[in-house]
Structure 1
Amino acid sequence: MEFLTNALVTLLVIVEPLALVPIFLATTQGFSADQRRQVAWRASVIAFVLLSLCAFFGEWLLTRLGISLPAFRIAGGLLLFSISFEMIFGLRAGRKSAVEREEIDKDHIIRVAAFPMAIPLLAGPGAIAATLLLAGQTGGSPSLMAGLIAVLAVVIVLSWLCLRIAERVNRLLGTLGNVVVSRLLGIILAALAVQFIIDGIRAAIRA
């Protein structure tokens, strides 16, 4: 129980489901309510599968590919920064407003669900690193590993529930509120991206 409690608290703190709601609204601007639900569901499934695979094979795969966790963190930071740049200057909104809502096809929904929602927001470098560390603490115990997968499921389900309320938040904010929040969150996301890069560089130097 102590291991499961620590795992749950650690992953909830890192993933921060409630903090994803405004970012989700900004990255899915121009989507219908049904399309947002599809993105939330697909992103949650992708994140759960990815983190589960990391629990079983993550350390082995990174070792074989010669990729360090600091490098993964820096790459995630750079990708997030590109998204934040578009949010701040309204490039995403301008590009999406040129496409009618009904023209947002299934492939586009999958792309947004995979990046940036699933990776690196839901299953980011921090969540992957925490999953790898927690999997190492199981000592190969099948029961503890099953408990870790259950904890991952709980965290992802909570994240999905938070994303489901995003449409209500969107209606509450209105057009002006969404524009202001999108720009503000772009700045916050840029800072988060830079922090990812700084943490990655620090970890690389320590290594």
Structure 2
Amino acid sequence: MTAYVSPSITSAFVTLLATIGPIETAVLFASLTSGVHRPERTTLALRSVLIAGIVLLAFALGGAPVLDYLHVSVPAFQVAGGIMLFLQALTLVFSSPGLSSISEGEKKAARSLGDIAVFPLAFPVIASPGALVAVVLLMGRAKDMVEGGAILAMLVSCLLLTYIAMRAGEILTRWLGQTGADVAGRIMGVLLAGLAVQFVFDGIRGGFITS
């Protein structure tokens, strides 16, 4: 007997994987920590993933109450968030610095700092604006607590994959190179674009129903 996986859970995993970007994060991590000893790199990777996880979890659990407080409907946020995710998808497809990337100036500033776990690794690389929007959208679309718990499990899985990728950052950089990383990013960008448009459609449909 094969286990049934809900399409919404699968789309949640793909959305979070695309917005968090384990491969992109690993390549950047390898670049920023090229002169750091391995034990320190392990600690940096773990701390950055944990901090990003706390931020993403806070948005996942507190996003809906904040929207209610601001009198922003879920359909309205779905449309706005879907547009934002679509813009990130375009940057991934065309291999330009996306919403989760950092500028060259920020990279230089990060290299001069003693601790890069919070900035730029935890935020804005792992807990990127796109990932924060995505987790709020996904939790808002959950039909019940079981589905909400499954989405949180997908979030933890993506963070775990990010940590593993960061630990293997040097190997991934050698195997993939810049070209391989760009190809992976473009594939995820195409998938994210479709999911982003679906969020917009859901928001428009939900707006007509509630109006």
Matching residue within 10, 13, 18 for 1:13: 18
Q: Which residue of structure 1 lines up, in the alignment, with residue 142 of structure 2?
A: 138
Structure 1 gap ranges (5+): 97-107, 182-207
The structure-2 alpha-carbon separation of the partners of 1:117 and 1:57, relative to structure 1 and needing over 3 Å to count, comes to: same
RMSD: 3.5
SS at 1:22 equivalent: helix
Structure 2 gap ranges (5+): 1-5, 72-76, 86-97, 179-211
Tell me the distance in 2 between the aligned counterparts of 1:78 and 1:131.
14
The structure-2 alpha-carbon separation of the partners of 1:62 and 1:35, relative to structure 1 and needing over 3 Å to count, comes to: farther
* Count of residue correspondences: 153
Matching residue within 85, 102, 119 for 1:80: 102
| 2:49/2:162 contact within 8 Å kept | yes
Read off the aligned partner of 2:54 and give its amino acid letter: V
What's the offset of the Cα at 1:147?
0.5
Tell me the distance in 1 between the aligned counterparts of 2:119 and 2:146.
32
SS at 2:36 equivalent: coil
Tell me the distance in 2 between the aligned counterparts of 1:159 and 1:78.
14
Read off the aligned partner of 2:41 and give its amino acid letter: R
- How far does the alpha carbon of each residue in 1:15-71 deviate from its partner, in whole angstroms, 9 at most, with x for none? 2211212211222243211111111111111122211111110243477589x988x
Read off the aligned partner of 1:40 and give its amino acid letter: A
What's the offset of the Cα at 1:168?
4.1
1:28-177 matched pairs, under 5 angstroms: 28-61=33-66, 80-81=102-103, 84-85=104-105, 87=107, 95=112, 108-109=114-115, 112-139=116-143, 141-168=144-171
Which one has a larger percent helix, Structure 1 or Structure 2? 1
SS at 2:102 equivalent: helix
Between the aligned residues of both structures, percent identity stands at 27
Tell me the distance in 1 between the aligned counterparts of 2:109 and 2:153.
39
The structure-2 alpha-carbon separation of the partners of 1:62 and 1:33, relative to structure 1 and needing over 3 Å to count, comes to: farther
Tell me the distance in 2 between the aligned counterparts of 1:65 and 1:153.
28
The structure-2 alpha-carbon separation of the partners of 1:79 and 1:2, relative to structure 1 and needing over 3 Å to count, comes to: closer
